[in-house]
Amino acid sequence: MKLITKPLVGLFAGVVGAALVLSISHFTSWGRDGQPVFNVSATPIDRDARLGTSFAPIVKKVAPSVVNIYSTRFIKEQPMRNPMFADPFFRQFFGNQFPSEGDDRERTRKEQSLGSGVIVSADGYILTANHVVADADEVKVSIADNKKEYTAKIIGKDSATDIAVLKINANNLPAVTLADSDQLEVGDMVLALGNPFGVGQTVTMGIVSALGRSGLAGFNQYQNFIQTDAAINPGNSGGALVDVEGRLVGINTAIVSPSGGNNGIGFAVPINMARNVLVRLVSGGKVTRGYLGILPQDIDADLAQQFNLPSQNGALVGDVVPGTPAAKAGIKAGDVITAINGQPIDDAHGLQLTVSQISPGTSIAVKVFRNGVSRNFTVILAELPGSEIVAGDEGNSNSSTAMADALDGVTVADLEPQVREQLRVPADVNGALVTDVSSDSNSADAGLMANDLIVEINRQPVNGADDAVRLCKAARGEHILVKVWRRNGNFAGTRYLSVDNTKRK
C-alpha cells in the first residue's frame, strides 16, 4: 500500500549556532538582546524511575501552555454563471446565491483551518507548524480552554523546517519548559497535546519510536524528526510533544498515513531545531543558514572500498564550488567529512543539517579523511545562497527578502558568484535571483519561477534584491511588467511577464 504523507492542518477548510545556548542546569531562564526568555531543563529524564499510575499531574502542568490556532485565508473568485439559476423557478429554492447573467462582481470566499501551538515564553511567543499559518491572512490564538482569544502576529515562518513563530500581546502566560531534545532516546515515553479534528484539547501517549528520521519524500527540507506512536491527527499540527516530566521535546508536524488519520507513525520537529529557528527569526527577521560550498554524497560499501575508508560513516565530497568557504579552506573533491566541531557526521544529510544550523560567519572545525589520513581544516561559513525570508510585518533583510506588494509571494536574493556560475549566467547579466514563488500567487500564475533572474521591473533595471523590493514598493497600476532571464537546459534568454498587481485577499 502506498503511504501518503499528510500535514496536520485541521479538516475545517499547517550543530546549534552561537545564538542558541542550552542551559546545563536543571532549571533556568534564558534571554539576551531582546530575545524571549525560556524556561529550560536540559538534564535527561530518570530512565530508572518507576512510572506512576497516572499522567494527570503532567497534563495539568503542560495543558495551559498548549493553544488552539485558527487561521483564515480570504480567496477572491470570479462568479460562476449558469443560465438556469436566473430562472425564477430555481431561485425560489436557491435564492440569489448564484450570480445572474451580467453580474461580474468578484466574490470573496473565506477558508479556515485549525492547528495547535505552544507558548514558549511568558510574554507571548508561540511556536507552531509553518503549514498551519503559511497562507493565512488572519491568525487567532485561543488559550485557557478557549476562554481568551488573541489576534496573533506572525513573527516569521521557515518552510524548510516547517516552523513558524507567533506573538500575542499578553504577559504572565503559562510558558512550557523546554527540554534538550538531544537527550531523547528511542523508547522514552512521550505525550502529544493538541486539538485534533477540532474536538478540543486532547492528550495521547506513546513512545519515541525513532530519532533523526530523514529522507522522507513530501516533507520539509531539513528533516531530523522525532518519530512517535503517540496518536497524532489533523489539528495536532504545531502542538506539543512532551516527555514524562512535562518538558517540551518537539513540535508535532506530520503523519504518514494511507487514510489521513493516525496509524502510529507521527513526526515532530525536535525542540532544539525549533528553538534555533525561533531565535533567528526574532533576532534577524529571517533564517540564515551556513554554507560550505560542496556537493556531498552518501558512502556505500563500494565507495568505502574504493576510497579505502574504515567505515561508511561520513559525507563524501563529490565536488567543491570554486570560491566558496570549503574551496578557500583547502577541502577537495574526494575528501570524506567525518566531523564538524567534534560532532560526528554520519552521511550527507547529517552534514547538510549540521551546517545549516550554524550561523554564517562562524568559524568551524572540519575533520576530513583524505588518502587514508585524517586532516583538520578551519572553515568560515558563508550564507547559504537564497536563504529563505521568513519575517512577518517587521522583517528586515538585505541579501534575501520577500517581495513587497507588486510581487507578493516571491522571495528573491542577490546573485552570488557561485550561483551565477551554477546557473551559467553571463557576466553582463545582472538582477535579483528568484529563490521561491508561492504556488497560489499572482506571480506564479504569470509564469515566474524559482531560479529566474529578474532583470527589469516596469522597464527599470534591477541589479539586486534591494532594487527589486524598492521597485515593487513603487509599482502602481493593475499589472506590473517583469523582464526575466531564464535558463532552460542549454538555452537561455530573456522574456517578459505581466503580473497581476492586485493582492489576493
Residues 22 and 60 in one domain: yes
Grid cell 470573496 in the structure block, residue: 108
Q: Is residue 444 part of a domain?
A: yes
Residues 318 and 444 in one domain: no
Residues 6+ apart with CB under 8 A from 8: 14, 115, 129, 131, 232, 233, 234, 235, 236, 237, 238, 252, 253, 254, 255
Residues 214 and 241 in one domain: yes
Three-state SS for 282?
helix
Residues 213 and 270 in one domain: yes
Calpha distance 341→344 (Å, rounded)? 8
Residues 42 and 59 in one domain: yes
Calpha distance 164→253 (Å, rounded)? 11
Residues 372 and 452 in one domain: no
Q: Is residue 440 part of a domain?
A: yes
Residues 12 and 39 in one domain: yes
CATH code of the domain in which 406 resides: 2.30.42.10
Grid cell 524548510 in the structure block, residue: 160
Q: Is residue 22 part of a domain?
A: yes
Q: Which of 118, 259, 115 is nearest to 198 (CA)?
A: 115
Residues 60 and 177 in one domain: yes
Per-residue pLDDT of the chain (505 residues), as tens digits, is 233 344 444 332 333 333 333 333 334 445 555 678 888 888 888 887 777 778 899 999 999 999 999 988 776 666 555 555 555 555 555 555 555 555 555 666 667 778 899 999 999 999 999 888 887 888 899 886 667 889 999 998 888 888 999 999 999 999 999 999 999 999 999 999 988 887 888 899 999 999 988 877 666 678 889 999 988 888 888 999 999 999 999 999 888 766 666 677 889 999 999 998 998 888 877 788 888 988 888 888 877 877 888 889 999 888 788 888 999 999 988 899 999 999 999 998 899 889 988 989 999 999 999 988 899 999 999 988 765 444 443 333 334 566 655 687 888 888 888 788 888 898 888 999 998 888 778 888 888 988 899 998 888 899 988 888 888 888 877 778 888 898 876 667 777 777 888 765 4
CATH code of the domain in which 278 resides: 2.40.10.10
Residues 253 and 339 in one domain: no
- With helix as H, strand as E and coil as C, how does 416-436 read? CHHHHHHHCCCCCCCCEEEEE
Q: Which of 293, 277, 444, 455 is nearest to 359 (CA)?
A: 277
- With helix as H, strand as E and coil as C, how does 45-89 read? CCCCCCCCCCCHHHHHHHHHHEEEEEEEEEEEECCCCCHHHHCHH
> What Å distances lie between residue 416 and 293, 385, 463, CA to CA?
12, 7, 12
Residues 62 and 177 in one domain: yes
Evaluate whether 268 touches 254 at the Cβ level (below 8 Å).
Answer: no
Residues 440 and 340 in one domain: no
Task: Report strand pairing: 382-383 vs 290-291.
Answer: antiparallel
Q: Is residue 152 part of a domain?
A: no
Residue positions annotated with a catalytic role: 131, 162, 237
Calpha distance 197→261 (Å, rounded)? 10
Domain's final residue, options 283, 309, 332: 283
Q: Is residue 93 part of a domain?
A: no
Q: What total number of domains does the chain contain?
A: 3
Calpha distance 303→299 (Å, rounded)? 6
Residues 367 and 405 in one domain: no
Q: Is residue 56 part of a domain?
A: yes
Domain range enclosing 456: 400-500
Question: Which amino acid, one-letter code, is at 439?
Answer: S
> What Å distances lie between residue 447 and 77, 337, 436, 453, 486, CA to CA?
20, 40, 13, 13, 11
Domain's final residue, options 262, 283, 304: 283
DSSP H helices in 268-371 = 271-284, 301-306, 325-329, 348-356
> What Å distances lie between residue 163 and 26, 51, 114, 118, 291, CA to CA?
26, 32, 16, 12, 21
